[in-house]
Amino acid sequence: MYKRSHTLLLTTFSFLLIVGCAKKGTITGGEKDEIPPKFVKAIPPNYSTNFNKNEIRIYFDEYVKLKDPQKQIIISPPMDPKPEITPLGGASKYLKVKFLDTLLENTTYSINFGQSIVDNNEGNPNPFFKYVFSTGDSLDSLSIKGIVDDALEKKADPFVTVALYEINEQYSDSLVFNEVPRYITSTLDSINFNLENLKEGTYKLIALKDAATNYTYQPKQDKIGFYDEIISLPADTAKVFKINLFEEVLDFKALKPKQVSKNEFVFGYEGELEAMKINLVSKAPENFETRIFPDKVKDTLHYWFKPFFEADSLLFEVTNTRNFKDTLVARFKDQYKDSIKLSSNVKGSLAFNQDFTLFSSTPIESVNEKLITLTDKDTLKVPFSMELDKIKNEAKFSFERTESNAYTIQLLPEAIKDFIGNVNDTISINFRTKKLADYGTIFFTLENVKEYPVIIQVTDEQGKFIDEKVATKQETTVFDNLDPGKYNLRVILDTNKNGIWDTGNFLKGIQPEKVVYYPEAIEVRANWELKQTFILE
């Protein structure tokens, strides 16, 4: 009896072993965990009053870690130095907040963790967990909400700081440059904001795209926005506030010049160019000449001179139209002479609404059209006219072109002579034209315009400027020669009628000119004509 049972047991075990070995595969471990970590308790408890500790511990039901805490965690009012929040780089079942600053008396504090608290395995976030406490007998409970948009761009920046400055005897608008606000929050990766646990009072509401995350306004790197009126709490708690972020134009300032070649200095500047003038104060030869033109990308002026002369340093006087005046010193020495380098605005094809344009790394002094030929794909000469713009340092060539054609512009030696005596070698540039049917056209009609002029601009989906037209009356605006793709249309209400979009100024209380976007991106297809009507509200 025992032997038969033993034999049966061995047979069964062998069968199970064979079956188990036959079923090879990967153990999946079950369904993916999508449950965020759950808050269990806090010591001291959340929403405590008469808080007098220097440390908080917040417990969860599983191991957690902090993701992107620098952006996600907002402490209001701000503390300097900021508290230590751990774990950083590891995982734990609790978070520890250790205060390094003395807490203010009778103040409600909030620590908003955003979506930084995630579980250790799958990274599921516990969304917008907030720890609130008061050093006084009660918690402040007032709140406001709103949205932050960009004044010019269609898509607003994420992680914008929204702040309230308390209006009291010490308040002035200049505080935003060097004092942290009373209350702060962040839009995180949306455009919405909520400021909570506020006390009764009057406040100035501002928004900052705060590059340094120091809660102060640095005009060289930050965007700013503000609400015009003073906010009164609790009276304004039901409002939805809207703020438009903008970049201010910096006050004009000329930067120290730098010699970059034997005959060239570069002058950087901040703010708007506004007819910046550069005069050499140091003694120079009687036949001394200069040529100045702006850089096409940087806020820089290229200052060229001849002839070269000996000196240890040069003294320049810089002025502009807004009563700016400064004297700047630059080191001066003999260097290699620059050679002429030519380029063009063509990358493959030339649109029908563009002129072929030549650029030079050195100032163009003259162009000999007799040494330039323009031919088509059949090597037939094409007549052209040329216009030299010494202020922009470019030469534009206009000619009658046909579709689906290929062109070659050839410059023989000495066709172009620059300011310091350089001439070009033989150079040939090839380009083509597309079929007219390769492009699309938008016919754009505005209605309900209360005041003209308005500026209508086309950008690509990334916000890159493509084209603009100024409308001075009720009419249909045509944007043609558009490559297939998606475009945004925006309307600038040109309030001061100067033909450009004007940004705002915080200290002067000036809001940027209003920009209204056509609500949807417009898809342009080849050989299509689209008619769009936009009714302004």
pLDDT in tens, 78-98: 998 999 999 988 899 999 999
What is the model's pLDDT at position 213? 86
What is the model's pLDDT at position 404? 96
What is the model's pLDDT at position 80? 87
Integer CA distances (angstroms), 536 to 27, 446, 474, in order: 60, 7, 13
What pTM did the predictor assign?
0.85
Encode pLDDT of 495-532 as tens digits. Answer: 999 999 999 999 999 999 999 999 999 999 999 999 99
State both tokens at 167. Answer: 């209006």
Residue closest to 209 by CA, chosen among 183, 248, 166:
248
CB atoms within 10 A of CB 339: 14
Distance CA 534, CA 86 (A): 53
What is the model's pLDDT at position 16? 38
Q: For the chain, which residues score pLDDT lower than 70?
A: 1-33
What is the model's pLDDT at position 34? 80
Give the CA diameter of the chain: 127
Integer CA distances (angstroms), 451 to 218, 400, 446, 470, 493, in order: 35, 38, 12, 13, 8
The strand pairing partners of 351, in sequence order, are: none
Domains identified in the chain and CATH numbers: 39-134 (2.60.40.1220), 142-245 (2.60.40), 254-331 (2.60.40), 342-434 (2.60.40.3780), 439-535 (2.60.40.10)
State both tokens at 139. Answer: 């918690």
Distance of CA 221 to the CA centre of its chain: 10
Give residues with Cβ within 8 angstroms of 385, minimum separation 6: 397, 398, 399
Distance CA 218, CA 73 (A): 21
User: Which region holds residue 123: left if phi is over 0, alpha if psi is between -120 and 50, else beta?
Assistant: left
Strand 394-398 versus strand 356-360 pairing type = antiparallel
What is the model's pLDDT at position 274? 86
What DSSP character marks residue 99?
-
Distance CA 119, CA 155 (A): 31
What is the model's pLDDT at position 4? 40
Burial of 56 (0-12, 13-18, 19+ CB in 10 A): buried
CB atoms within 10 A of CB 497: 10
The strand pairing partners of 224, in sequence order, are: 208, 246
What is the model's pLDDT at position 31? 66
CB atoms within 10 A of CB 155: 13
Residues 440, 382 contacting (CB under 8 angstroms)? no
What is the model's pLDDT at position 342? 96
- Torsion angles phi and psi, residue 96, rounded to 5: -120, 130
Encode pLDDT of 116-146 as tens digits. Answer: 999 998 999 998 899 999 999 999 999 999 9
Residues 239, 143 contacting (CB under 8 angstroms)? no
Cα Rg, the chain, nearest whole Å: 33
Give residues with Cβ within 8 angstroms of 64, minimum separation 6: 37, 91, 92, 93, 95, 117, 118, 119, 120, 126
Distance CA 308, CA 285 (A): 9
Residues 332, 314 contacting (CB under 8 angstroms)? yes
What is the model's pLDDT at position 435? 96
Distance of CA 454 to the CA centre of its chain: 24
